Amino acid sequence: MLRLITKHSEYGEFRTPDFYLRSGHFNAAVISSPGEFALGITISKRVGKAHLRNLLRRRIKAWLRENADSHRLGYKLNIIARSGAGELSWQELCNELDSMTANLRDRC
């Protein structure tokens, strides 16, 4: 079951992640969490103006809904957008997030 991380206290757990995943425009902090899958999205003002950050957030959530079957239970993931992520096309965004989750599957 997918759960979005919304509370500040839950984001605080990512101060000491088990490991990081990196791609060209995204970093992801990963924490082992038996029996659940939770996702947090962090997008700073460096990415762009509010409408661009909101668009990117909606696209990440849409990608997650499309690929919900491929996510295993057992970890929490905080996707952190880096500068330039707002200019990615839908296909480029999907490719980067797919490669990050493939790396996650290889590691876990």
Residue 16: inside a domain, yes or no? yes
Inside any domain, residue 33: yes
Consecutive H or E run containing 94: helix 90-107
Residue 44 counted as domain residue: yes
Q: Which helix (H) or strand (E) holds 19?
A: strand 19-22
Query: Could you tell me the end-to-end alpha-carbon distance of the chain, in angstroms, rounded to an integer?
Result: 18
Mean pLDDT (the chain) is 90
Whether 34 is covered by a domain: the verdict is yes
Average pLDDT over residues 24-32: 93
CA dihedral 84, 41, 31, 27 (to 10 degrees): 0
pLDDT score recorded for residue 1: 67
20 lies in a domain?
A: yes
Domain total in the chain: 1
Q: What residues are paired with 2 via a beta bridge?
A: 37
Instruction: Report if residue 10 sits inside a domain.
Output: yes
On whether residue 107 sits in a domain, the answer given is no
Classify burial at 25, counting beta carbons within 10 Å of its beta carbon; exposed 0-12, middle 13-18, buried 19 or more: buried
Does any domain span residue 106? no
pLDDT score of 96? 95
Q: What is the pLDDT of residue 108?
A: 66
Range of the domain at 22: 2-101
pLDDT tens digits for range 44-90: 999 999 999 999 999 999 999 888 777 667 889 999 999 999 999 99
Q: Model pTM greater than 0.85?
A: yes
